[in-house]
Amino acid sequence: MIKFLTKGLLRDRSRSLFPVLVITLTVALVIFTIGFMKGTMNSLFLDTAVILTGHEKIVTRAYNEESQLMPNDLALLDADQLIHDLNQDYPDFFWTPRITFAGLLDVPDENGETQSQGPVIALGIDLLSTNSRQAEIWEMDRVLVEGSLPQSREDALISTKLAEQLDLSVGDPVTFIGSTMDNAFTTYNFNVSGTFNLRKGQTDKQMMLVDLSGARLALDMDNAASAIFGFTHSLYYDDEAAVALRTHYNNTKSDSLDIFSPFMLALRDGNQMGTMVDISGAMIAIMGGIFLVVVMVVLWNMGLMNGLRRYGEVGLRLAMGESKGQVYRSMISEAVIIGLTGTVVGTGIGLALTYYVQENGIDYTKGIEALSNSSMVMPNIFYAQVTPDLYYIGFIPGVLATVLGTMLAGLAVYKREMAQLFKELEI
């Protein structure tokens, strides 16, 4: 039967090719639009996550209370064991230590005397470990302007804005002046191995990136970390899962009476990100929903029109003795075949397009430079995101709407009276 119907569809292009093309294009558009919206929102979150919050972040309870002051005397101790446990307990994430510190950067002249000095906000990130994904998530190949990535713990990357302010070049020595985690005075020599530009407005104005081992030595923070950041392996932020994990961790691993007990924060818990996450979720739902409804109406209408267009053919088949049920079922079967074909092809095209934009992105650098502020880190390149729901969401308009449209049009079959048929067909 299916073979018979398929043959019919292939031989009558007006019944197959055009509807399949419409469904294919529509489904591809639905998938790409939803994927792009999700990807764009994820790009927004990922940039904030990489620099400030992680998808999950673990700090001590006391550090969380005073996080604006970067209180490294309240840092996490025995960080390696903590990360080992996190990797075992929560394998869906990769966990990495981070030291955030501030102080002065002193540039010496040829006699070793102070030539220039300026405030610096430094991040100690794990750049040198073999399996570290930090260079990847910071997109170092893209943001590095001059020089090379740190090769040793003495190497530092300086933002182009800070380098310009202090008149620094690649290869210059600089001395960090600040406080250890015991609040003792500390100085530490770094070598500028390269300069970077995050291209996110003023975010990196005073920023220096060093390897975690250098930060630990400079601040006397052996096996300690300001925070441990967690990221999903796909780098896609799933708010519901993140909140569930945070709640579970805090209920089972954190002691509310111990101010040095580890405490987990989801991305939505920091820097007013909760509102952003909620707004973006609502926006995707509303925009996606409206788009889906519009597309469904279009395909429904197409199914309806197809049914009505075949008014004469249906009459002839009934006149020739086919039962109403047979005709109705064959029409629906055809709609299912057309819907499925168009949806499968459309899903394939939509996913391919989404994947391409996921990997390559669309560059909006100039517009974003003007919009960036310090509380929310804005991305410059927007990426789409292939998510599991994109594999099936096309079936709602592609198959369901087409079949429903055909079912509605097909109801007319049952209203036809045999007595009227011959008159209608002028036989």
Partner 1 sequence: MISKALLGILLLTTLTSVGKSEEMTASELVKAMDDNLNAKTRVLTSKMIVHGRRSSRTIESRNWVKGIDQAYTVYLAPPREAGTKMLKDGDKLWTYSPQTDRVIQISGHMLRQSVMGSDMSYNDMMEDRPLTDLYEATVEGSEMIDGRKHWILFLEAKVKGLSYPKRRAWVDSEYLLPMKEELYAKSGKLLKSTSMDGIKKVQDRWFPTRYIFKDELKKNSKGTEWIIDDIAFDTDIPDSRFEKAMLRK
Using CB under 8 A, list all residues that contact partner 1: 62, 66, 73-74, 104, 106, 108, 112-114, 117, 119, 175, 177, 179-180, 182-189, 220, 260
What stretch of H or E contains 303? helix 273-309
Instruction: Give the nearer residue to partner 1 in terms of CB position, either 12 or 66.
Output: 66
56 φ/ψ angles, rounded to the nearest 5 degrees: -135, 150
- Nearest approach, Cβ of residue 111 and partner 1 (Å): 9
Instruction: Give the nearer residue to partner 1 in terms of CB position, either 104 or 407.
Output: 104
Mapped onto helix, strand or coil, the DSSP state of residue 100 is strand
Instruction: Give the nearer residue to partner 1 in terms of CB position, either 185 or 320.
Output: 185
Q: Tell me how far the alpha carbon of residue 34 is from its chain's centroid.
A: 12
The full DSSP string for 351-364 is HHHHHHHHHH-EE-
Instruction: Give the nearer residue to partner 1 in terms of CB position, either 180 or 254.
Output: 180
Instruction: Give the nearer residue to partner 1 in terms of CB position, either 113 or 240.
Output: 113
- Nearest approach, Cβ of residue 252 and partner 1 (Å): 24
Instruction: Give the nearer residue to partner 1 in terms of CB position, either 185 or 417.
Output: 185
- Nearest approach, Cβ of residue 261 and partner 1 (Å): 13
- Nearest approach, Cβ of residue 62 and partner 1 (Å): 7
- Nearest approach, Cβ of residue 226 and partner 1 (Å): 14
- Nearest approach, Cβ of residue 182 and partner 1 (Å): 6
- Nearest approach, Cβ of residue 96 and partner 1 (Å): 24
Q: How far apart are CA 184 and CA 72, in angstroms?
A: 11
Strands 93-108 and 114-125: antiparallel
- Nearest approach, Cβ of residue 185 and partner 1 (Å): 5
Helix then strand then coil, in percent of the chain rounded to 5, is 55, 20, 25
237 within 8 A of 46, measured Cβ to Cβ: yes
Q: How far apart are CA 283 and CA 267, in angstroms?
A: 18
Instruction: Give the nearer residue to partner 1 in terms of CB position, either 184 or 293.
Output: 184
- Nearest approach, Cβ of residue 106 and partner 1 (Å): 5
- Nearest approach, Cβ of residue 99 and partner 1 (Å): 16
Instruction: Give the nearer residue to partner 1 in terms of CB position, either 108 or 288.
Output: 108
Question: Which residues does 156 contact at the CB level (< 8 Å), separation at least 6?
Answer: 122, 150, 174, 190, 191, 192, 193, 208, 209, 210, 214
Instruction: Give the nearer residue to partner 1 in terms of CB position, either 119 or 312.
Output: 119
Instruction: Give the nearer residue to partner 1 in terms of CB position, either 187 or 234.
Output: 187
